[in-house]
């Protein structure tokens, strides 16, 4: 999301799911839409039936490839080069939206200069995609009436994740596809309320609605602290993304630019200081501006950088997160560990205290979906046994820790969010959300919500082209010891770590165990037959799993899901992170395979 | 969209330009018998039940296939229409296994409704009926639903749903090779009535007539919810006592759903047709994967680790212990010692309070798994 926020000033899906069906062209990159977001997949197929051109950029032969006009089968981790080549072709052939570029963007000349060397032939060598396919894809996308880009974890879960998103945004801007119907940049959020968790300020550096806690200005204490090693909890925010204008900007500043504040902006007082003052007053507590740890810092290689006490709500990190052997060690090393969940998950088994939570069917509240739509969640049944809704548990704990909280309904909590986040949620009372929800921003009671953002004007004012050079992923290259590249995916029949779907027998019948995808040529070379057991070893760990011989992966590439704890692929993946968004690069790991 | 006025059975009706006569009638609560029509699908014209007469036209026409026109005068009943409908209904019932008392679709069955509305001549149906020898095998390969070809009336709704709604295309109307039958007929091997009732004549099937689990089927169950008879029937069809409108808990799409509840158990889910997100559509998880709510492994009481083992405890014990440990750690190392990982699975209200709690305790170390 950081990538999209950098160039546009807002990091969410720009258009609606509904609009996809009417797109003139769709570029699906790093998203196995029909398996991971099946109902959005229906819309993509509908669009194709309606005549849309479909471009699929993906190392694997995913189901959508069957109905695609062109499949750009790129090598994992070469997305930036591919995007730059598409930009190169669009500019070379004069297919860019010149009027849009003139009126709504800046930095086109820099981009033009940068992509000069990314000829289809040069990029064909890097990505393995034939030059003529790159040219075909560029033409299909640029010549269409409207072009939507759909992307997901295949783009973001790389050590170059932010660069990938920025490179993609260039294509969207170049073809005038932002702020218009049936187009846009459409990152598909993986979990039901991941958008909400971010919007609610469950990130170290922002409160609700991305109002900065710290780090919004270079003279802010955050930046000074960054320079002092002692507090350098995050790797230095440096990358090869260069926004095409004189002054360097940073993400939080851009986000801060877009917030309309009610209180006067005092000269010399940073935005974050004002935001902290606002929340401090509303909450009746002192608020710290000391940078918080991201999840990667919480499990840092250096124990002194980690926190000693951890409160975890509703996640199964041990199965879902990268480098899980290291993670288990970190959990064991904690002084005190609290887990709040609906099941005793693999992760909860490490806890000192486990708190039983109510499931979605037993509580009141709201979720925010991938298209920024806030929707109601309603209780169908009573909580099981002594379990309680999460908010009640948090409140009970807060009261015990001396905080004077007195919420009696979730609506009171939501109204507080609306009050403190007027630019996003002010107009979204429970009453207005009753029918089918509203899409943020919705700043007043008569505001209809915002299906398309960046309409007429970008959240940050003007659309920013950025130059971003391709860099080979040195961190995780294949070599003679680890000759295969392992990528991870998901399957339609299971969800995440199966704590929920694993309880439905029918789904287990449809998919009962992990099968690592391997190309027939590789299988032959290793003398393997379908469903043979293999040992997969990376630089971090080793697991055993059965294989599935399939052409969906190219020679040298293998693919596994992370649904099954028994064959936990995240024992193999690394925790090297994208140095801007801090997303781990789990999509590329070097491994070797042996018959077991 | 322009409004058009027409008359149906003497009632003045307003309809949208381009709307079919059938849709216009149904929108005004005028029932015209129909089976192969489905509001979500393109007009098909397979069952011939929805015939109506239009003033100025010699013969009846199917109302699902003709658009309304200004001043059109439509009548939905006449001796000729009744006759046409009765024959059409009899042809539908012909190969339908009538065991309504045992059938789970009973009460919700569209065929039942049509038969009771139109009426059939039992004797005729009995004479033409498929014999017991022609009973077709039930496909139980999918874990969530049976496919019973003996109940199928070949309306094609499942085929069109699979094509038009989710684009999977796992099913088709197969064995339409009448030329083979006619060749057999010409050779004198079969009689004319055999052609009509021949068990191996047209039927719905996956590619190469394999079980549905071996097809490209994604088990979304869209066919199941649209099938007008018991040809697609849920393996766990327990009737629910009430429905609750909410939002699907799986991926970020956020489909609108209605949970079907009986007592304290969540038993089913159906898509909310008014939701702009999914318009009633669901995937396999959103439709079928709710057993986790009722599962006996659900945590029902707090647990505390004692002598290395997690044992049951009261809320007071658990919360007091956490508060004490948090305070002790903070006293020893300062507020930064605390870290909180929130969840992309819980509500906004839960998430908001979580970060409010952590920040109120003096730490900004709050994150979640947005990156995974």
Question: B188 falls in which pLDDT band (50, 70, 90)?
Answer: confident
Chain B contacts in chain A segment 172-191 (CB below 8 A):
188-191
Across B269-295, average pLDDT: 93
Checking if the pLDDT of A538 tops 90, the result is no
What is the Cα–Cα distance from A85 to A74, expressed in whole angstroms?
A: 12
Which comes out higher in pLDDT, residue B345 or B192?
B345
Q: Given this model, what pLDDT does residue A153 score?
A: 80
Domain limits, chain B: 239-294, 334-372
Give chain B as a 3 state SS string.
Answer: CCEEEEEECCEEEEEECCCEHHHHHHHCCCCCCCCCCCCCCCCCCCCCCCEEEECCCCCCEECCCCECCCCCEEECCCHHHHHHHHHHHHHHHHCCCCCCCCCCCCCCCHHHHHHHHHCCCHHHHHHHCCCHHHCCCCECCCCCEEECHHHCCCCCHHHHHHHHHCCCCCCEEECCCHHHHHHHHHCCCCCHHHHHHCCCCCEEECHHHCCHHHCCCCCCCHHHHHCCCCCEEECCCCCCCEEEEEECCCECCCCEEEEEEECCEEEEEEECCCCCCCCCCCCHHHHHCCHHHHCCCCCCCCEEEECCEEEECCHHHHHHHHHHHHHHHHHHHCHHHEEEECCCCCCHHHHHHHHHHHHHCCCCCEECCCCC
Checking if the pLDDT of B193 tops 60, the result is yes
Q: Does A282 touch chain B (CB under 8 A)?
A: no
Question: B366 falls in which pLDDT band (50, 70, 90)?
Answer: very high
Burial of A435 (0-12, 13-18, 19+ CB in 10 A): middle
Q: Does A420 touch chain B (CB under 8 A)?
A: no
> Which residues are registered as beta bridge partners of A72?
A57
Burial of B137 (0-12, 13-18, 19+ CB in 10 A): exposed
Buried/exposed A475-513: b ≥16 CB within 10 Å, e otherwise: bbebeeebebbbbbbbbbbbbbbbbbbbbbebbbebbee
Burial of A242 (0-12, 13-18, 19+ CB in 10 A): middle
What is the Cα–Cα distance from A514 to A556, expressed in whole angstroms?
A: 19
pLDDT tens-place string over residues A491-517? 888 877 778 888 888 888 888 888 889
Q: Name which of B335, B353, B362 to mutate to probe chain A: the one with the most chain A Cβ atoms within 10 A of its Cβ.
A: B353
pLDDT tens-place string over residues A145-164? 999 999 988 777 666 777 88
Give the mean pLDDT of chain B. 88
Show residues of chain A in contact with B317, CB under 8 Å.
Answer: none
Question: A256 falls in which pLDDT band (50, 70, 90)?
Answer: very low
Q: Is A241 helix (H, G, I), strand (E, B) or coil?
A: strand
What percent of chain A is predicted at pLDDT more than 70? 84
Cβ <8 Å between A190 and B337: no
Show residues of chain B in contact with A365, CB under 8 Å.
Answer: 347-350
pLDDT tens-place string over residues A361-420? 999 999 999 999 999 999 999 999 999 999 999 999 999 999 999 999 999 999 999 999
How many other C-beta atoms are found inside a 10 Å radius of the C-beta of residue A266?
Answer: 10
Q: Given this model, what pLDDT does residue A7 score?
A: 54
A291 vs B293, B364, B372: nearest CB: B364
How many other C-beta atoms are found inside a 10 Å radius of the C-beta of residue A110?
Answer: 16
User: What domains, with CATH codes, occur in chain A?
Assistant: 2-188 (3.40.228.10), 190-295 (no CATH), 476-595 (2.40.40.20)
CATH topology of domain B239-294: N-terminal domain of TfIIb (2.20.25)
Kindly give, in sequence order, each residue whose CB lies less than 8 Å from that of residue B322, ignoring residues fewer than 6 positions away.
A311, A336, A338, A353, A397, A400
pLDDT tens-place string over residues A267-294? 456 778 888 989 999 999 999 988 888 8
Q: Is A366 helix (H, G, I), strand (E, B) or coil?
A: strand
Residue A588 C-alpha, separation from nearest chain B C-alpha, in angstroms: 14
Which comes out higher in pLDDT, residue A237 or B257?
B257
Show residues of chain A in contact with B165, CB under 8 Å.
Answer: 42
Among A303-312, A370-379, A572-581, B265-274, the least confident range? A572-581
pLDDT tens-place string over residues A460-474? 667 778 888 888 765
Burial of B141 (0-12, 13-18, 19+ CB in 10 A): middle
> Is-contact A364 B283, C-beta < 8 A?
no
Checking if the pLDDT of A9 tops 50, the result is no
Show residues of chain A in contact with B262, CB under 8 Å.
Answer: none
Nearest residue of chain A to residue B362 (CA atoms): A288
CB pairs < 8 Å spanning A and B: 470
Across A186-208, average pLDDT: 90
> Smallest Cα–Cα separation from A16: which of A443, A454, A372?
A372
What is the Cα–Cα distance from B95 to B151, expressed in whole angstroms?
A: 8
Which comes out higher in pLDDT, residue A456 or A87?
A87
Q: Does A194 touch chain B (CB under 8 A)?
A: yes
Among A559-568, B105-114, B266-275, the least confident range? A559-568
Which comes out higher in pLDDT, residue A256 or B30?
B30
> Is-contact A205 A293, C-beta < 8 A?
no
Cβ <8 Å between B298 and A379: no
> Is-contact B257 B246, C-beta < 8 A?
yes
What percent of chain B is predicted at pLDDT more than 90? 58
pLDDT tens-place string over residues B91-106? 888 778 888 888 888 8
Q: Given this model, what pLDDT does residue B201 score?
A: 64
Q: Does A358 touch chain B (CB under 8 A)?
A: no
pLDDT tens-place string over residues A221-252? 443 443 333 223 233 333 445 554 433 333 33
Across B236-246, average pLDDT: 89
Cβ <8 Å between A353 and B345: no
What is the Cα–Cα distance from A29 to A64, expressed in whole angstroms?
A: 11
The helix (H) or strand (E) run that includes residue A108 is helix A108-115
Checking if the pLDDT of B196 tops 70, the result is no
Residue A156 C-alpha, separation from nearest chain B C-alpha, in angstroms: 8
Nearest residue of chain A to residue B273 (CA atoms): A436
What percent of chain B is predicted at pLDDT more than 70? 91
pLDDT tens-place string over residues B99-136? 888 888 888 899 999 998 988 877 766 666 655 556 78
* Its pTM surpasses 0.90: no
Checking if the pLDDT of B170 tops 70, the result is yes
Show residues of chain A in contact with B304, CB under 8 Å.
Answer: 352-354
Q: Given this model, what pLDDT does residue B53 score?
A: 93
Show residues of chain B in contact with A398, CB under 8 Å.
Answer: 353, 356-357, 360
Q: Given this model, what pLDDT does residue B192 score?
A: 66
B165 vs A42, A351, A369: nearest CB: A42
Kindly give, in sequence order, each residue whose CB lies less than 8 Å from that of residue A267, ignoring residues fewer than 6 positions away.
none
A573 Ramachandran zone, left/alpha/beta (phi>0; psi -120 to 50) = beta
Q: Does A478 touch chain B (CB under 8 A)?
A: no
Show residues of chain B in contact with A375, CB under 8 Å.
Answer: 247, 254, 256, 277
Q: Given this model, what pLDDT does residue B179 score?
A: 66
pLDDT tens-place string over residues A82-133? 999 999 999 999 999 999 998 888 888 888 888 999 999 999 999 999 999 9
């Amino acid at each position: 999301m950081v990538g999209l926020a950098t160039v546009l000033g807002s990091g969410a899906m720009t258009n609606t799911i509904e609009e996809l069906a009417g797109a003139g062209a769709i570029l699906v990159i790093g998203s196995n839409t029909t398996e991971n977001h099946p109902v959005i997949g229906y819309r993509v197929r509908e669009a194709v039936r309606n005549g849309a051109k479909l471009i699929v950029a993906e190392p694997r032969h995913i189901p959508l490839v069957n109905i695609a006009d062109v499949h750009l089968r790129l090598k994992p981790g070469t997305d930036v080069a591919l995007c730059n080549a598409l930009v190169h072709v669009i500019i070379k052939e004069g297919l860019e939206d010149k009027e849009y570029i003139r009126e709504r963007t800046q930095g086109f000349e820099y981009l033009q200069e940068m992509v000069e060397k990314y000829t289809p032939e040069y990029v064909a060598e890097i990505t393995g995609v034939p030059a003529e396919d790159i040219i075909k894809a560029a033409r299909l996308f640029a010549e269409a009436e409207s072009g939507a880009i759909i992307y997901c974890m295949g783009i973001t879960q790389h050590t170059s994740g932010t660069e990938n998103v920025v490179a993609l945004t260039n294509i969207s801007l170049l073809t005038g596809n932002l702020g218009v119907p049936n187009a846009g940049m459409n990152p598909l959020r993986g979990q039901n309320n991941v958008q909400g968790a971010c919007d609610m300020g469950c990130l170290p550096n922002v409160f609700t609605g991305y109002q900065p806690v710290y780090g919004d200005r270079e003279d802010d204490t955050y930046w000074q602290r960054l320079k002092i090693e002692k507090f350098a909890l995050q790797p230095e925010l440096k990358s090869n993304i260069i926004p095409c204008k004189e002054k360097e900007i940073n993400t939080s500043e851009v986000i801060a630019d877009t917030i309309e504040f009610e209180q006067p902006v005092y000269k010399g007082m940073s935005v974050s200081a004002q935001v902290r003052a606002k929340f401090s007053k509303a909450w009746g507590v002192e608020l710290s501006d000391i940078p918080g740890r991201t999840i990667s810092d919480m499990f840092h290689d250096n124990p002194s950088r980690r926190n000693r006490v951890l409160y975890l709500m509703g996640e199964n990190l041990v199965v879902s997160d990268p480098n899980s052997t290291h993670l288990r060690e970190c959990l064991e090393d904690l002084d005190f560990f609290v887990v709040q969940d609906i099941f005793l998950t693999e992760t909860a088994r490490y806890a000192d205290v486990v708190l039983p939570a109510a499931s979605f069917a037993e509580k009141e509240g709201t979720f925010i979906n991938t298209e920024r739509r806030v929707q109601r969640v309603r209780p169908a049944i009573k909580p099981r046994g002594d379990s309680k809704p999460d908010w009640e548990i948090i409140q009970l704990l807060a009261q015990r820790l001396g905080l004077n909280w007195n919420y009696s309904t979730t609506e009171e909590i939501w109204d507080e969010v609306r009050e403190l986040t007027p630019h996003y949620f002010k107009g979204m009372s429970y009453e207005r959300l009753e029918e089918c929800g509203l899409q943020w921003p919705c700043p007043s009671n008569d505001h209809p919500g915002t299906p398309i953002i960046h309409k007429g004007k970008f959240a940050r004012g003007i659309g920013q082209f950025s130059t971003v050079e391709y860099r080979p992923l040195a961190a995780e290259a294949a070599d003679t010891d680890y000759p295969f590249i392992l990528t991870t995916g998901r399957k339609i029949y299971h969800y995440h770590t199966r704590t929920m779907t694993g309880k439905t027998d029918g789904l287990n019948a449809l998919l009962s165990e992990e099968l690592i995808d391997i190309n027939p040529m590789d299988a032959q070379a290793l003398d393997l037959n379908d469903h043979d057991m293999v040992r997969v070893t990376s630089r971090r760990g080793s697991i055993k799993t059965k294989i599935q011989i399939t052409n969906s992966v190219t020679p040298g590439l293998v693919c596994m899901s992370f649904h099954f704890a028994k064959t936990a692929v995240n024992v193999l993946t690394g925790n090297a992170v994208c140095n801007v968004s801090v997303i781990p690069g789990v999509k590329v790991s070097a491994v070797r395979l042996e018959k077991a | 969209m322009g409004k058009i006025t027409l008359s149906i059975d003497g009632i003045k009706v307003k309809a949208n330009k381009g709307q079919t006569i059938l849709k216009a009638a149904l929108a005004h609560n005028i029932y015209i018998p129909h089976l192969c029509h489905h509001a979500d699908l393109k007009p098909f014209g397979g069952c011939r039940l929805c015939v109506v007469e239009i003033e100025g036209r010699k013969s009846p026409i199917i109302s699902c296939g003709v658009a309304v026109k200004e001043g059109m005068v439509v009548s939905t009943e006449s001796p000729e229409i009744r006759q046409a409908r009765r024959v059409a209904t009899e042809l539908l019932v012909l190969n339908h296994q009538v065991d309504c008392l045992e059938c789970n679709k009973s009460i919700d069955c569209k065929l039942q409704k049509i038969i009771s509305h139109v009426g059939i001549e039992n004797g005729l149906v009995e004479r033409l009926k498929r014999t017991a020898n022609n009973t077709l095998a039930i496909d139980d390969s999918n874990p969530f639903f049976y496919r019973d070809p003996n109940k199928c009336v070949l309306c094609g709704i499942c085929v069109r749903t699979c094509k038009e709604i989710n684009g999977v295309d796992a099913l088709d109307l197969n064995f339409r090779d009448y030329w083979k039958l006619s060749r057999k007929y010409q050779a004198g091997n079969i009689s004319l009535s055999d052609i009509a009732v021949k068990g191996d004549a047209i039927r719905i099937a996956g590619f190469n007539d394999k079980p549905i689990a071996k097809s490209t089927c994604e088990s979304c169950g869209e066919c199941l919810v649209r099938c007008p008879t018991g040809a697609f029937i849920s393996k766990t069809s327990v009737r629910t006592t009430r429905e609750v409108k909410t939002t699907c808990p799986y991926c970020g799409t956020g489909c609108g759903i209605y949970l079907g509840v009986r007592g304290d158990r969540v038993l089913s889910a159906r898509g909310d047709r008014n939701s702009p997100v999914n318009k009633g559509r669901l995937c396999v998880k959103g439709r079928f994967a709710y057993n986790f709510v009722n599962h006996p492994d659900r945590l029902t009481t707090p647990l505390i680790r004692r002598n290395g083992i997690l044992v049951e405890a009261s809320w007071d014990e658990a919360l007091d212990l956490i508060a004490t440990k948090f305070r002790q750690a903070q006293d020893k190392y300062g507020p930064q010692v605390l870290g909180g990982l929130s969840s992309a699975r819980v509500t906004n209200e839960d998430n908001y309070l979580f970060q409010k709690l952590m920040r109120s305790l003096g730490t900004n170390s709050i994150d979640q798994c947005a990156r995974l």
